Amino acid sequence: MKLSARDALAAIAKPDPKKTGVLIYGANAMRVALKRQQLIKGLIGAQGEEEMRLTRLQGGELRRDGAALNDAIKAVGFFPGPRVVLVEDANDNCADAILAGLNDWQAGDAQMVVIGGALKPTSKIRKAFEAHSNAWSIAIFDEPPTRAEVEAALAKVGMGEVDPEASAAITDLSKAIDPGDFNQFLEKLSLYCMSQAGPVTLRDVEVCAPQSTEAALDDVIGLVADSRTDEIAPVLHRVIAQGGTATGLCIAALRHFRLLHTAASDPAGASQGVAKLRPPVYGPRRDRIQRQVSAWRRDRLEQVISLLLDTDLQLRSAGQTAPQMAQVERCFIRISMMGKR
């Protein structure tokens, strides 16, 4: 049976132990893995694998040994409780073994959980699960989690009340970062807010949200964009001492000024442009970017991007002999002076 996205969410959250099997497939391996983990935990509990009630098989093994799946399904475990046979990396090369397992399954056998990649509609495995009356076929699309999934993830980590601003920020983050990083962020946020009274606030989210670049690198790029020329050299030298490279600094600056240019180019104005940035920015960093966008004209930002591209090309040139960090420092000082005009 083919499940819709809404039914799949409920089926994975509260799986039916009487099903013959479940097929989970999708192009994003991380999203598929998280759903697989949740499903198996719901079937056999947190201690199921330790109690040897989970058997793992690879699709390649079934191609060489077609009876391995049927043997694992029929085997009797030492510990009482439901059992699961997990088949990973399934494709049509091992379809015969999986189809035989579906046909031979009887009540009391281990439930099959089959994991595949981006299976086509013509896939034998996919067609078999979709046509089976006692099996589920679940497609995991490479899309941001829905509001219901975000709320379920918050409940899973034991999060209490969340104020509206924090909730909106968490939803934005779920769309901007990978699902694995988002789960780690929620666990970190849950631990951070464990002993505090009152709802989770936007400030709590800002503290726990993952940062895309190192703080020292952010500092020097921020000084350049704020036109604080006299303060650039000391912070730049600190970045160099921490192992920063000329090319890395140039790329970081290019990324930041392109972000400012994107916000400044929004037809609805700079404020709306900053609000639409992805990944989203919050709190003091958002205020700083808003101030920088207001301080720089769009044509001047285009000149800055052109200068950074030229510097990057010089750094990568095989014939250049000038010290690379000196070139970057000179470029940053020129940019900061441009902002004062």
* 318 band by pLDDT with thresholds 50, 70 and 90: low
Mean pLDDT within 305-311: 89
Is pLDDT above 80 for 317? no
Q: Which segment, 1-15, 105-119, 231-245, is predicted with the most confidence on average?
A: 105-119
- pLDDT digit string, tens, across residues 157-205: 888 888 888 888 888 778 767 787 788 889 999 988 888 888 888 888 8
Residue of 71 and 284 predicted with greater confidence? 71
The answer to whether residues 250 and 329 touch, using CB atoms and an 8 Å cutoff, is: no
The neighbour count for residue 229, using CB atoms within 10 Å, is: 17
- pLDDT digit string, tens, across residues 143-152: 777 788 888 8
Percent of the chain whose predicted confidence (pLDDT) is above 90: 23
- pLDDT digit string, tens, across residues 57-66: 998 889 888 8
Spell out a b/e string for 78-95, using b for 16 or more CB atoms within 10 Å of the CB, else e. eeeebbbbbbbbbbbebb
User: From its phi and psi, is residue 89 left (phi > 0), alpha (psi between -120 and 50) or beta?
Assistant: left
- pTM tops 0.75: no
Mean pLDDT within 215-235: 79
DSSP label at residue 93: G
3-class DSSP assignment, residue 50: coil
* 95 band by pLDDT with thresholds 50, 70 and 90: very high
* The predicted structure's pLDDT at residue 213: 38
Note if the bond before 80 is cis, omega within 30 degrees.
no
Spatial distance between the Cα atoms of 90 and 77, rounded to a whole number of angstroms: 24
The answer to whether residues 289 and 281 touch, using CB atoms and an 8 Å cutoff, is: yes
DSSP 3-state helix, strand, coil percentages of the chain (rounded to 5)? 60, 10, 35
Q: What is the C-alpha R_g of the chain?
A: 27
- Residue whose C-alpha is closest to residue 200's, from 238, 158, 232: 158
Spatial distance between the Cα atoms of 150 and 175, rounded to a whole number of angstroms: 10
Spatial distance between the Cα atoms of 115 and 27, rounded to a whole number of angstroms: 11
Amino acid identity of residue 12, one-letter, is: I
Spatial distance between the Cα atoms of 40 and 195, rounded to a whole number of angstroms: 31
Mean pLDDT within 15-43: 91
The answer to whether residues 66 and 97 touch, using CB atoms and an 8 Å cutoff, is: yes
The answer to whether residues 106 and 99 touch, using CB atoms and an 8 Å cutoff, is: no
The answer to whether residues 138 and 24 touch, using CB atoms and an 8 Å cutoff, is: yes
Spatial distance between the Cα atoms of 13 and 3, rounded to a whole number of angstroms: 14
| DSSP E strands, the chain | 21-25, 54-58, 84-90, 111-116, 135-139
- Residue whose C-alpha is closest to residue 88's, from 64, 61, 68, 66: 61
Spatial distance between the Cα atoms of 1 and 8, rounded to a whole number of angstroms: 11
Helices 179-192 and 164-176: crossing angle in degrees, nearest 10, is 150
